[in-house]
Amino acid sequence: DTAHWIDTLDKAGELKRVKCPVDPSLEITEITDRISKVYGPALLFEQTGTDFPVLINSMGTERRMAMALGVNTLDDIGHDMEALFKQLLSPKESLFDKLKLLPKLGSIASWMPKVVRGRGACQEVVMREPDLTKLPILKCWPEDGGPFITLPVIHTKDPETGIRNVGMYRMQVFGPKLTGMHWHRHKVSARHMNEYKKRGEKMPVAVALGGDPAYAYCATAPLPDGVDEYMLAGFLRKKKVELVQCLTQDIQVPADADIIIEGYVDPHEEFILEGPFGDHTGYYSLPDYYPKFHVTAITHRKNAVYPATIVGIPPQEDAWIGKATERIFLVPIKMTMVPEIVDMVLPVEGVFHNLVVVKIRKEYPGQASKVMHSLWGAGQMMFTKMMVGVDGEVDIHDPLALARYVSEHYDPLHDTNFTAGPVDVLAHSCSVMAFGGKMGLDATRKSPEELSMRQTSSHPIAPLHIDLEALKSKFPEIRDLNTRLTSIGISLAFLSVEKNRPGHVKELGRALFATPEFQHLKTLIVLEHTVDIQDIADSVWRFSNNVDPKRDCLMLDASDNQGINHIVLDGTRKTLALDGFQRDWPNILASEEQTIELVDQKWSAYGLGALLPSPSAKYRKQLYAGGAVAE
């Protein structure tokens, strides 16, 4: 449970207790943002102005994520899962082989969740009058629509089958007994709600906070519809999760949780305008209408701790939750769907759904394209905007080695596949909500068949030596150029530009690649003039959020059929005036000056060591005019 988790973190030197008073509105976020950016400790805020301490950033490094799941490394879980799959799926030719399987089947049965009688520890205290304002619910970023519950484990069930779903969806608090319920159209809980609507019934919902940290992870895991998340928790813990019946709703929750919020959603009720919210993309997700959740009871442990997380510009705690999913779910993807996959990486800068790298065991021409399209058809992988396929001995966990390999084996003209399909609801750069362009890059070694139709020959990757001031005098809209990667064998450069006319980026791209200086460059990524393109991680983050790769791409043939083909990708903000873009564009996330100053002044009182500068100090310079919506 949470008390044991806190004790485990404490003994491992992974926890800092903040004993001075802190404000859940903005102050906790600013402190945590500084700590998470340097992969610092978990934080326990003991004085929050309520009866409940706040635990945050508890899974904020790879080590703590592994600790939360009870393993030494995240790959250990995948190895266990692979061994189980092989044992269950291998041919059983003799009676002896089948008998040997019985103990394993018994173990699997022992992982299934169990409803126990009586009340659980989570129901030791029952609030006489349920009141969410008694909890230290965070307001994370200045333009947020209000305080949000950010680490809720939300329980719903199918009214026809009774099958449980456990998910994690933010909850904006509108009053003591009212929140929004932010489940997107693709989510299982949204489907459950539609079933209740057909039946003309209210939908029971229960929210668990705290308890075993595996619950929070399992609520985010991309399990197939109908697979109980608590079975995954049982597999991780090698013991069953014990559930108890709620007091006011017909639904069950973990007995060892810290806080339970019971209530219902009325599917026939008008939705409520929820948001904005500073989201995991590093941008605000903008207001939209979502179901209302009505609270009917709140129960908690006697010494309950309120768990929270913040999301925002990476890296944050959610990066390591995503890393766990990457390592765990690689195994079922390999064993049941795409057996040629060797490894997979979801880079932190790609915020899960914008960028995926897949390493394959290549055996025939066109295989990388086949794998990418298979993954675009697989569960939550369908939201991936950009996918890169590689093979060979390259270590895809080494960003520079990976980038060199891609640069060597990728020809923009012949190795880029475009398609369109569903994208994440938070993808703000597509022209319409939740649907946009996708791009696949085949950076595998090419077979003779794949090379047979190509006119260009390969060239060694050469450093670019460009006089920036001379370039600016010729193209005054250019603000900066970063060609640093070209000196280490990576044919990619970043350019920052102040756009001032329709079609500007593609026009500029054509002009630059017509000059001798750019002839040996494969890939040019263009960002807006406010972005610090000398920070490559930030540049990748901004680009991957701001591009619709099918719409915002320019391909250029080698001029002499013996040179290098080129690709220009427009990662700038899109506007109606310059791009015909008709959706609102969100702002990036940054704390207010007064919050930064407050935390600077109080830093020594927090007991967190030497002063860490605010990450927001940098990003405030990049904010667009306006609030959550850029003007």
Task: Say whether 279 is catalytic.
Answer: yes
Cβ atoms within 10 Å, residue 105: 11
- DSSP at 612: P
Place of tokens 């696949």: 440
Please calculate the CA angle 399-404-409 and round it to the nearest 5 degrees.
Answer: 125
CA atoms within 13 A on the CB side of 424: 21
223, HSE (Cβ side, Cα atoms, 13 Å): 20
Catalytic residue, chosen from 144, 256, 279, 442, is 279
- d(C-alpha 567, C-alpha 547), whole Å: 13
Tokens representing residue 389 in the block:
């396929």
Tokens of 268: 């026939």
Q: Dihedral, CA atoms, 293, 297, 302, 303, nearest 10 degrees?
A: 10
Which residues are bridge partners to 553 per DSSP? 569
What pairs with residue 497 in β-bridges? 478, 528
User: 42-71 burial, b if ≥16 CB within 10 A, otherwise e?
Assistant: bbbbeebeeebbbbbbbbbbbbbbbbbbeb
Counting runs of H as helices and runs of E as strands, what totals does the chain give?
19, 30
The C-alpha atoms of residue 327 and residue 79 are separated, in whole angstroms, by: 10
The string of DSSP letters for 297-353 reads: EEEE-TT--EEE----SSSSTHHHHHHHHHHHHHHHHHHHT-TTEEEEE--GGGTTT
By DSSP bridging, strand 242-245 and strand 114-115 are parallel
Token pair in block for residue 58:
């508890």
**Which residue type occupies 352?**
F
Contact partners, residue 554, CB within 8 Å, separation at least 6 = 505, 506, 509, 510, 567, 568, 569, 570
CA–CA distance, 620 with 142 (Å, rounded to integer) = 12
Q: Which among 521, 580, 577, 520 is positioned nearest to 548, based on CA atoms?
A: 580
Angstrom distance (rounded) from CA 253 to CA 549: 42
Beta bridge partners of 566: 556
DSSP run (H or E) holding 155: strand 153-157
* Beta strands, E only, 3-101: 15-21, 42-47, 54-56
**Residues belonging to the active site:** 279
